Amino acid sequence: MLSAVILLADGTEEMEFTITYDTLVRAGVACCSAFVPAANASVERPYATGSRGIRIMYDAVFGDSKQFLPSSYDALVIPGGAKGAETMSTNLTVQNLVRDFLAQDKIVGMICAGGQAALTTKLPRQPLTSHPSVKAQLENDFEYSEEPVVVSNKLVTSRGPGTAFPFALTLVELLCGADKRAEVRAPMVFPPNTPF
Amino acid sequence: MLSAVILLADGTEEMEFTITYDTLVRAGVACCSAFVPAANASVERPYATGSRGIRIMYDAVFGDSKQFLPSSYDALVIPGGAKGAETMSTNLTVQNLVRDFLAQDKIVGMICAGGQAALTTKLPRQPLTSHPSVKAQLENDFEYSEEPVVVSNKLVTSRGPGTAFPFALTLVELLCGADKRAEVRAPMVFPPNTPF
């Protein structure tokens, strides 16, 4: 069974997290949400508080090797939300995991401010997008695009909550194929003429 | 400050819940998630488990009058997810609240299988939509539509996760006006030519 780890922190954009997790589960991908504590913070609660106040229980704590073996997963996703993305992108263990996944030809997804992790991880220059609010941080080091979803080998980047569905469906397609993408998409009932 | 209560139960579609809550918070609407226990079940945990396994902490327990006074809110939202919507739509206190809100000219939103509540509440015949999977239950008693979002006076209905953004933005427009809708929509970065 294919599997994905989706990072979660205080300040994560809860729509981006939830749309990605739920859509991957619909495709039959086993998902694990892994909580990344803020720098120098301890893990005191069983949940993360999203950027708009929704409290989501996490499945595992990132970095707790007894509880969670990230290398066993097929894909890694870094959602946005300014504060959550800062916590993730500045975490050295997250940075190492991003590099390890890409080195092993595994999928890494970054959406919205999560794209900052491409910079902190020092990924090579390549096509990429992000939320417009972090474009200035990225455009000198990458081939910055304003496409809703950019696939660069196994790095998949996207822009914000409004592109979270095409982002998640692209991850489904890369992991499970175009037929599975279509099968998952249909019962979601997107409006006619939705461009993804 | 405007406020909305968004129901949450085991089996709620977590994208529909999260998109509605988060989008309303972005518009400055104070949101409360109220947990509806399944029939004859006690409230044992501080969270609901969504239809795809995401565990969301609730803000209040529906029906606990010390903790939660539903009549103080400006809008009521019933999300989908087959099991969650069944729990909500068969709850007599929820049914009474739907009728009370509409009688007071307050907004009631129902999305996806949440539309079943229009039937169990015995609302008068009017335009409505829902997830296609519950169309057969509704089409004899309502003017069934396949539009992504249907506004019938203060009853707002919609179809599924794929219409949750236009549903939530319609609620924002009805509560806060068209300018606020546009202000909330822009930083979400929908793809070009998105039809809402």
**Which pLDDT belongs to residue B71?**
84
Which H helix or E strand runs over B88?
A: helix B82-89
Q: B103 and chain A: CB distance < 8 Å anywhere?
A: no
Q: Do B26 and A188 touch (CB under 8 A)?
A: no
Residue B133 with chain A: CB contacts under 8 Å: 187
Counting residues of chain A whose pLDDT is more than 90, the rounded percentage is: 91
**Which pLDDT belongs to residue A69?**
85
Residue A54 with chain B: CB contacts under 8 Å: 18, 21-22, 33, 56
SS3 B110: strand
The 3-state secondary structure of chain A reads CCEEEEEECCCCCHHHHHHHHHHHHHCCCEEEEEECCCCCCCCCCCEEECCCCCEEECCEECCCCCCCCHHHCCEEEECCCHHHHHHHHCCHHHHHHHHHHHHCCCEEEEEHHHHHHHHHCCCCCCEECCCHHHHHHHCCCCEECCCCEEEECCEEEECCHHHHHHHHHHHHHHHHCHHHHHHHHHHHCCCCCCCC
**Which pLDDT belongs to residue A41?**
83
Res A102 pLDDT > 90: yes
Say how far apart CA A102 and CA A99 lie, in whole Å.
5
Q: How confident is the model at residue B65 (pLDDT cuts 50, 70, 90)?
A: confident
Q: Do A52 and B22 touch (CB under 8 A)?
A: yes
Chain A residue at shortest CA distance from B148: A191
Q: What is the pLDDT of residues B15-28, one digit of tens each?
A: 999 999 999 999 99
Counting residues of chain B whose pLDDT is more than 70, the rounded percentage is: 100
Q: How confident is the model at residue A61 (pLDDT cuts 50, 70, 90)?
A: very high
Q: What is the pTM of this model?
A: 0.98
Compute CA A63 distance to the chain's CA centroid, rounded to the nearest angstrom. Answer: 17
**Which pLDDT belongs to residue A88?**
98
Q: Do A189 and B31 touch (CB under 8 A)?
A: no
Q: What is the pLDDT of residues B70-98, one digit of tens each?
A: 888 999 999 999 999 999 999 999 999 99
- Mean of pLDDT values over B33-58: 94
Q: A191 and chain B: CB distance < 8 Å anywhere?
A: yes
- Mean of pLDDT values over A173-188: 98
Q: Active-site residue A176, yes or no? A: no
Chain B residue at shortest CA distance from A56: B56
Q: What is the pLDDT of residues A129-150, one digit of tens each?
A: 999 999 999 999 999 999 999 9
**Which pLDDT belongs to residue A40?**
81
Mutate to test the interface with B, among A52, A172, A189 (most CBs of B within 10 A): A189
A3-188: what fold? Rossmann fold (3.40.50)
Contacts 24+ apart (CB under 8 A), B59-66: B59/B31, B59/B32, B59/B33, B59/B34, B60/B32, B60/B33, B60/B34, B60/B35, B61/B34, B61/B35, B61/B37, B62/B7, B62/B34, B62/B35, B62/B36, B62/B37, B62/B91, B62/B93, B62/B94, B63/B36, B63/B93
Question: What does the mean pLDDT of chain A come to?
Answer: 96
- Mean of pLDDT values over A177-182: 98
Say how far apart CA B140 and CA B89 lie, in whole Å.
18
Q: Where are the domains positioned within chain A?
A: 3-188
Q: How confident is the model at residue A70 (pLDDT cuts 50, 70, 90)?
A: confident
Q: B84 and chain A: CB distance < 8 Å anywhere?
A: no
Q: Do B56 and A56 touch (CB under 8 A)?
A: yes
Q: How confident is the model at residue A76 (pLDDT cuts 50, 70, 90)?
A: very high
Q: A159 and chain B: CB distance < 8 Å anywhere?
A: yes
CB atoms within 10 A of CB A147: 16
